[in-house]
Amino acid sequence: MRLDLGQRGQGAHECRECGMSYVATDEMDRKLHDRHHAQAVRGIEYPSYKNDRVVWSHFDARLVVTTWPPSSSALATKLRAIVAHTDRVLGAVDHLLEPGHVVSVYVRGKVVAGACIAEPRSVAFPATADGTAYDRARPVEAAFAGIARVWVDAKSRRQWVATRLLDAVAEAMGTEGGRARVAFSAPTTAGWALARRYTGDEEVLVYDD
């Protein structure tokens, strides 16, 4: 429990460099921020792994797709770190990778610039035009690529990175129907805008976590 009694520095503060909100007077918050800040500024390094499945490359950028679990324990550790970083940046609860989940990672140079985590889903629902609700009375049953998380580093946005990440997981999961068979999990405002642009459809599909 935290009490805001008007002390100087009390209350949530958002770091302009790493984007994390934290309470400067809380020691645990400061330590979490320091660790996240260092990683956000430095970035997560991604070396080449023996069984990397590179589905796209251009100059120093490449897109790597992995179906969980990978055969390499080192790659599994790296993917868990990338997912944990994505959760922290998005302010989401920890996502647990399970068999059949697909992770696409956008690497620029040797640093991760974006990631997408998808999970197989069989039921989705049409969302309202503003994304604030969805119609449970009209379930759509099909094999969906359920987008649990998608994140792109600020320096790599507006460069079609998110689109490449989404296309990669959908193709890896073998969904028929292209982008019409991609559903989103409780998207944020920014995520909703991405979903609308990606599907090109007024009726974006969403699913329950």
Strand partners, 68: none
The residue to which tokens 């805001």 are assigned? 4
Number of domains present in the structure of the chain = 2
Same domain for 3 and 37: yes
pLDDT of residue 124: 94
Same domain for 110 and 76: yes
Could you report the per-residue pLDDT of 54-78, keeping only the tens digit for each?
Answer: 999 999 999 999 999 999 999 999 9
**Average of pLDDT values for 11-23?**
71
Give 32's pLDDT tier (boundaries 50, 70, 90).
confident
pLDDT of residue 145: 96
Same domain for 36 and 50: no
Same domain for 182 and 102: yes
Instruction: For residue 41, give both structure tokens.
Output: 């500024």
Whether the pLDDT of residue 17 is over 70: the answer is no
Same domain for 195 and 168: yes
Whether the full predicted model's pTM is greater than 0.75, yes or no, is: yes
The Cβ of residue 139 has, within 10 Å, a number of other Cβ atoms equal to 14
Same domain for 131 and 98: yes
Same domain for 201 and 132: yes
Same domain for 111 and 80: yes
- The residues, ordered by sequence, that sit 6+ positions from 96 with a Cβ below 8 Å of its Cβ are none
Domain boundaries, position 170: 45-207
Decide: residue 93, CB within 10 A, 0-12 exposed, 13-18 middle, 19+ buried.
exposed
